[in-house]
Amino acid sequence: MIALKSRTHTVEDLGSAIDLCYANGWTDGLPVIPPTAERITAMLEAANLKPEHQLAFIENRQVSVTAEKVAINAVMAGCKPEFMPVIAATVEALADAKYGYHGPATSTGGAAVFMLINGPIAKQLNINNGDNLFGQGWRANATIGRAIRLMMQNVIGTTPGVLDRSSLGHAGKYTFCIAENEQDSPWPAFHTTRGFRPEQNAVTIFAAYAPHQYSNGLSATPEGVLTTACAQMRVSAGTNRQPQYAMVFAGEHQEIMKKGGWSREDVQQYVFENTQSKTADLQRANIRPGPITDETEKTFSPLVDTPQDLLVIAAGGRAGVQSAYIPGWGGKNGSQSVTREIKNY
């Protein structure tokens, strides 16, 4: 048995253990699995991690996140041991300066940690990439994302109303984890855009608001589908622009892109060019400050800085004419998405 350093508690039964977690504020509002030494050890062994191994250091909080603490929260979330490598890689990504943990975790804006899983591991762990993509029904999606949120709360102290000052929040703050549908995608797997090989496993994290769903059953061309997406995305333009957007294309829209021969780069360029908003229109909507002038009537603002700030992903049910875009957190210089390899340590 691995030697663990965390405090232990003695309780009479399962119900008492769950109640203890509630009493100490260790849950996300839902019941948790009591983290026994045996379960924690199994979690660590699945990723070949020593309890004291530091997976992340959160600079603003001066908190060291060890493998043992992550494993405890993974058990509480209901994860299987084989999920632990995905969780460990995600924790590493959270500490990346590009992601900038403190801002999205503490802002009144209420961003969640969106997780995209790529590589063979997604199928091995049965991480959903299809029907009901952002909804319930898959243990891996539900518990992997939940483990990250519990860790943020119980290890880093990102507790609602204390460090987490979100005004509204959204359901993705329970869990926001999906896989890409690499098999049916019209494009190379997303993680290959970050320098990984298709056969490697990777997780991409993104400080994200809730998905915005749109429908287009009228168009049979990529331009037609993207015209609808762009019209809705222009409305979401923030005061200082969002740093990035994820664009998730479900089955029927994937087929349209494939038949049209549009690459991921074609989609990015089209959306970048067609989501620019007249500054005066943003002022009329009280999104941008200042007086409306002849100059602002002629000036256009891009949604993001570059086409590459649009993260184009294939996932969702094969039937239906719905796709979604997901705004990132923090204005022009806000949090950036980060990709890490999923590995055994």
What are 40's two structure tokens? 């924690």
Residue 117 located in a structural domain? no
Helix (H, G, I), strand (E, B) or coil at 184: coil
Structure tokens at 256: 């349209």
DSSP-assigned beta bridge partners for residue 216: none
Q: What's the rounded Cα separation, in Å, for the pair 263 and 251?
A: 16
Residue 122 lies in a domain: no
Residue 199 lies in a domain: no
Range of the structural domain that residue 251 is part of: 210-327
Q: Could you list the pLDDT tens digit for every one of the 345 residues in the chain?
A: 688 999 999 999 999 999 999 999 999 999 999 999 999 999 999 999 999 999 999 998 999 999 999 999 999 999 999 999 999 999 999 999 999 999 999 999 999 999 999 999 999 999 999 999 999 999 999 999 999 999 999 999 999 999 999 999 999 999 999 999 999 999 999 999 999 999 999 999 999 999 999 999 999 999 999 999 999 998 776 555 679 999 999 999 999 999 999 999 999 999 999 999 898 988 898 888 899 999 999 999 889 999 999 999 999 999 999 999 999 998 777 899 999 999 988
151 within a domain of the structure (yes/no): no
Contacts of 23 (CB under 8 A, 6+ apart): none
Q: How many domains does the chain divide into?
A: 1
Q: 258: domain CATH number?
A: 3.30.2320
Beta bridge partners of 164: 160
d(CA 318, CA 252): 6
Task: Confirm whether 303 is domain-assigned.
Answer: yes
Contact 249, 314 (CB under 8 A): yes
